[in-house]
Amino acid sequence: MRVLIDADVIDGKRIYTDANGYQKLGKNTYLHRYIAEKALGRKLKGKECVHHLDHNRSNNNRDNLVICPNASYHQLIHAKERIVRMGGDPTLHHYCNYHRELHDKTEFSFNKTWSGLHNYCRNGTNEYRKKMGLNRNKFGWRARMNQQYRRVFKKDTNRDICKINPEEETL
């Protein structure tokens, strides 16, 4: 199969470059999607997207294109590329948006199921919560117990009997 990259016209349609730097075939078709469809021999499915390996939107060479099954996978590729650019190893490190640096995977809450999209390490999360005043005297053990009782009992139940009173704690 022969793909014409440098031609001005493909399949009777003129190639344009839009304001974002993508090449378009006619008015509605992106050239990188057209080339990926020709390489696959079928139309791209609804959620499939095409990633440029060298981040050059006008380089539509088949070797430069990767077909991603969905946008989440595409974002994962970008997240792992950012880690490599910063000198880390995607299997060992994560990027913390709060500190704007790489940390070990063990410093994140979800180190086993990390998808590349979890933003803050544990310290970053705690610092953010302290800075924003979150979790101050809000959900201590007494508030959690009362919350559980509110969920369990219906409207016609006398909830005052079930609440834990501070005066009765000293017993």
Do the Cβ atoms of 65 and 36 come closer than 8 Å? Answer: yes
* 62-79 mean pLDDT: 91
- The pLDDT value recorded for residue 131 is 82
- The C-alpha torsion from 58 through 61 and 52 to 105, rounded to 10°, is -150
pLDDT score for 50: 94
- What confidence score (pLDDT) does residue 171 get? 47
pLDDT, one tens digit per residue, over 110-167 is: 655 555 555 788 888 888 878 877 665 555 555 655 655 555 555 555 555 555 555 5
Per DSSP, what are the bridge partners of residue 95? 102
Phi, psi of 59 (to 5 degrees): -90, 95
Q: So what's the pLDDT on residue 10?
A: 74
Taking only the tens place, the pLDDT of each residue in 16-57 is: 888 888 899 888 889 999 999 999 999 999 899 999 999 999
This prediction's pTM:
0.63
What number of CA atoms fall less than 13 Å from residue 102's CA on the CB side? 17
